[in-house]
Amino acid sequence: MSNSSEQDTPPSRCGYIAIVGRPNVGKSTLLNHLLHQKISITSRKPQTTRHRILGINSDEHHQCLFVDTPGLNAQFNKALNKVMNDTVLNVIKDVDLVLFVVERFIWNEADQYVLDALANAKVPVLLIINKIDLVQDKTELLPHIAELAKKQEFAEIVPVSALGGHNLETIDNLVKALLPEGPFLFPEDQVTDRSSRFLAAELIREKVTRQLGDELPYEVTVEIEKFERVKSVLHIHGLILVDKKGQKRIVIGKDGERLKQIGSSAREDMETSFDSKVMLNLWVKVKSGWADDERALQSLGYLDR
């Protein structure tokens, strides 16, 4: 009888896992916690995530390629919304597994819209009920889970708290068990397929969104004009693009105070993410109609071609 160690070594598994759901159910928070580090920006504002972002989590035998997607939204009235919806629908077609995230006891038209989009998914779908830390009486979850189970045949239904880190290990184990066998597609120490330049722009946009909340409409994006290392310091120049003059005043704030706060908060996160001292300079510029202009969206990196 052969006792070679080769037989004892489990085969490597690698696959793509889409994280989908309506806006603001906690998809990006879930991704960051599953990766044990931040690569996807979060805020309370719906549809903070606009791009397809890949987070890579590798252990000895598994490589999980998590794809964080924008919230699927039935009311798309601008080119940007359409691009975001197309991104999600394209991702669903190309993955090995789907994590469909919903929130506590809520099931609405937007959730149904996502479920309909998953109707043709040929892969296992795990239903993740997020934010259960906000549920006072946990026994109420059981009848709710039973109702959700009738909607579609889910591979598993898992209640979690992404923010509190509750039950995330269960997701981790289920995902690894469902991954197809195959070689790793990325180096083991890589955590995302996005560039540092992209992450810098996203961190600035997160701070703008968090600082301004409802004061600022949707039409804000960030372009990085300079990203270079001089000796041990990263020099980053960011351009915050808004749609109207009045919005520019809001972002800058009285005596430039708001822009300073955005800058200092973004710089702190960048120093953690890039493990480096950062010199960050920010400007605000009006670029009307960018969110409804396909050419502008292309140049700002919104069209994943």
Question: Cβ(206)–Cβ(42) under 8 Å?
Answer: yes
pLDDT band at 85 (very low <50, low <70, confident <90, very high): low
Of the pLDDT bands very low, low, confident and very high (cuts 50, 70, 90), residue 189 is confident
Q: What is the dihedral of CA 303, 249, 237, 240, to 10 degrees?
A: -10
Give SS3 for 63: strand
* DSSP structural state of residue 82: H
Position 46 confidence tier, pLDDT thresholds 50, 70, 90 = very low
Tell me the CB-side half-sphere exposure of residue 235, using CA atoms within 13 A.
6
Q: How far apart, in whole angstroms, are the C-alpha atoms of residue 279 and residue 238?
A: 11
Per-residue pLDDT reduced to its tens digit, 223-249:
888 889 889 998 999 988 888 888 888
The confidence score (pLDDT) of residue 248 equals 87
Confidence of residue 260 (pLDDT cuts 50, 70, 90): very high
Global pTM exceeds 0.85:
no
pLDDT of residue 176: 94
List domains and CATH numbers for the chain.
5-178 (3.40.50.300), 196-299 (3.30.300.20)
* Nearest-angstrom CA–CA distance, 305 and 303: 6
